[in-house]
Structure 1
Amino acid sequence: MIRRPQNTLLSAVALIGLGASLPGVSQATEGGGTSYPLGAENYLSGAMPPPGVYGQLFVNHYEADNVRGNDGDKLPVDFRVRANAITPRLIWVSDYSLFGASVALHAIVPLVDLKVELNGQSQSKQGLGDIIFGPALGFHHSEKFHSTLALDMIAPSGRYDRDDLANTGRNYWVIEPVYAMSYIDPNGLNLDAKLMYDFNRENPATDYRSGQEFHVDYALGWGLGNGWVLGIGGYYYRQTTDDRQDGERIADNKGRALAIGPSVKYSGTNGWFVTAKWEQETQVRNRAQGDAYWVKLTVPF
């Protein structure tokens, strides 16, 4: 009989995308941001816990002071962005099963503090971001290997104005299929990958439709046998199709990025755990380049 992990949660985690608009600057996807916060996940992204109700709290800080063009060179703009988010997430793992997997639902409500500076202009916004929700199926293949299938919906609930530098929402729906997997060994190798593909709808305020996006949050570490896992984590991002505005394709504008940095996890008693990481972006194309800091606390109710 396969034992389920007692201190893990399903994947399909998302917080906020960067709601900064950069008028006059060529950027992949509208405003150069994403609806999913790249690199949000860490260890245990693909393992679903036993039936019950679980809470998570994400704390995130992101900052960048340069924008990269299609060739990877820094663009000649005076730019800086600072984004903070405190984001609660509620997860319900049911007693029901489907195709041999546990059925779960989750909802995420991000609270955002954003400041953007561009060529002498500056704007700040605080408030609700875009809410994420969806169902998931959790599979337990062995004592150490687990996976999750999910379908996230990202709703345009955040504040948006097409003429603003800073927006806490992106003003369009996103459909995001998710597959996540986790290999968990408290005394050895820990490997996690959360694969996502974004189908962006059109922004009705601008007639702009951002291209489709593929991205992976990953973590690789070694368990020390005392609750600690030490290693690295980050994300890989690549835009797969061109943006379109008023039905016309925008060429040579696809985004790309790779991020990596130190990552750590500590598992306590009674099923709670905390993860933390710092990730630095590199190999960036048509996007802002910066650093992100993440802390995630998970507590069973």
Structure 2
Amino acid sequence: MLCVFQRIALKPVVMKTSLSKSSGVKTALVLAGIILFNFAAKAQDPSLPAVNLGLANITDGITPGPGIYYANFSQIYQAHSFRDGAGNKLPTNLKVNTYTTIHQFVWLGNNKVFGGLFGLTAFLPVVRISATNAGGPTPTINNGVLGDLIVAPAIVWGNRKLFNHAYFSRAELDFYLPTGSYNHNDASNPSSHFYTFSAHYSFTYFFNRELSISSRNHINYNTKLIGTAVHPGMFYNVNFSVEQTLYKTFRAEACAYYLTQLNQDSNNGDSRYYQNVDGLANTKERVLGIGPGLAYLANQRLVLEGKVFWETAVRNREQGVRPTLQLSYKF
């Protein structure tokens, strides 16, 4: 199904500060900055926006024909540590949890565009954030629950052949609109407060009736944080899975997601700003999530999927666990 997801901007400024054993000043800045979260200061190094990390995996390239769809995605993210640019764990007891449910509505028509069916989709995220910090200060949380609205046109190609095996695919262009809850006085917000344009291509390829692979590849461009000169870098993210039928309509999967930032964050057009002003060696983010999943697919009209991801290889962002549920239904 068509899906994107929003991450809450929760990365503290210190996550992109290198912990140097030879620099007591740098370490002191890290400890003092633990409570400062994304966008709390005008020149603070920004976090990347929320995107689809592991919400869509199994048979992601398949969309079963024209019609109207509803999908619900629920994800609990438990950030149990924060990592700097070298992947080192930062010295804090801060724990951040987010619960997100996303309501997605899809219309897929009969009109052909580039040999595929043309469709439209929209996403409305509803978010709840909480944070604790044993023995230390806790950041302020925006109690608003609305994330940023996302709208997208898409082209869907049905059952085709690749090397004489079934191949399904879809191309989509997502527009992230900063319509969600945001307050510059709060340390964390449901809205990223800038625009993001994301192009992605998804496919599912069947080696035989029981074994398939799926992948969703995104390239993302961010605008500047509204009202500032702060500009998060471009980034690439991908979801992928290997899927095997267990019994009739039940399928198991080994699934993963990966995100890597392509260029440095900038300020007022200067891509070396955070290196020169804050002494950050690198502002690029990275994360890899891996886990198992189990799905029930009833002729593709009804899809129920549950999975969990454990994150590793993290740079310049939070690290945690992502239990995820998906329900999709074609009317």
Q: TM-score, normalised by structure 2?
A: 0.82
Residue 69 of structure 1, CA deviation: 0.9
Note the alpha carbon deviations across 1:121-158, whole angstroms, 9 max, x for none.
24342411011111111112237211111111111111
Matched, 1:220 2:242: yes
Higher fraction of strand:
1
Q: Percent same amino acid among aligned pairs?
A: 24
Higher fraction of helix:
2
Residue 187 of structure 1, CA deviation: 3.9
Residue 270 of structure 1, CA deviation: 7.5
2:75 maps to which of 36, 41, 60: 60
1:248 counterpart residue number:
270
Summarize the Cα distance change of 1:31–1:62 in structure 2 as closer, same or farther, 3 Å threshold.
farther
**Equivalent pairs, count:** 291
| Alignment check: 8 A CA contact 2:261 2:285 kept | yes
- What SS does structure 2 have at the residue aligned with 1:279? strand
Residue 186 of structure 1, CA deviation: 8.0
Note the alpha carbon deviations across 1:59-107, whole angstroms, 9 max, x for none.
1100112111111110123321100011110000001001110101100
2:307 maps to which of 277, 289, 292: 277
Residue type of the alignment partner of 1:168: P
- What SS does structure 1 have at the residue aligned with 2:87? coil
Residue 45 of structure 1, CA deviation: 1.4
Residue 24 of structure 1, CA deviation: 4.8
Partner Cα distance (1:280, 1:295) in 2: 15
Matched, 1:154 2:144: no
1:121 counterpart residue number:
138
1:3 counterpart residue number:
none
Summarize the Cα distance change of 1:49–1:219 in structure 2 as closer, same or farther, 3 Å threshold.
same
Q: Tell me, which stretches of 5 or more residues in structure 1 are unaligned?
A: 1-8
Matched, 1:263 2:293: yes
| Alignment check: 8 A CA contact 1:109 1:131 kept | yes
1:18 counterpart residue number:
8
| Alignment check: 8 A CA contact 1:185 1:223 kept | no
| Alignment check: 8 A CA contact 2:11 2:318 kept | no
Summarize the Cα distance change of 1:258–1:150 in structure 2 as closer, same or farther, 3 Å threshold.
same
Residue 30 of structure 1, CA deviation: 5.3
| Alignment check: 8 A CA contact 1:46 1:182 kept | yes
Partner Cα distance (1:270, 1:21) in 2: 37
Matched, 1:85 2:75: no
Note the alpha carbon deviations across 1:205-253, whole angstroms, 9 max, x for none.
4421100010001111211241011121120110001101233223411
- What SS does structure 1 have at the residue aligned with 2:263? coil
2:23 counterpart residue number:
none
Matched, 1:133 2:148: no
Matched, 1:294 2:324: yes
1:6 counterpart residue number:
none
Partner Cα distance (2:170, 2:300) in 1: 23
1:108 counterpart residue number:
123
Matched, 1:198 2:220: yes
Residue 25 of structure 1, CA deviation: 4.4
Partner Cα distance (2:206, 2:304) in 1: 15
Which consecutive aligned stretches of 4+ in structure 1 deviate over 6 angstroms post-superposition? none
Q: Which has the larger radius of gyration?
A: 2
Q: Tell me, which stretches of 5 or more residues in structure 2 are unaligned?
A: 18-37, 39-43, 276-281
Residue 269 of structure 1, CA deviation: 5.5
Partner Cα distance (1:233, 1:72) in 2: 23
1:47 maps to which of 62, 72, 82: 62
Partner Cα distance (1:253, 1:31) in 2: 9
Summarize the Cα distance change of 1:162–1:192 in structure 2 as closer, same or farther, 3 Å threshold.
same
Alpha-carbon RMSD across the aligned residues, in angstroms, is: 2.1
- What SS does structure 1 have at the residue aligned with 2:140? strand
Residue 49 of structure 1, CA deviation: 1.9
Partner Cα distance (1:226, 1:30) in 2: 50
Summarize the Cα distance change of 1:30–1:47 in structure 2 as closer, same or farther, 3 Å threshold.
farther
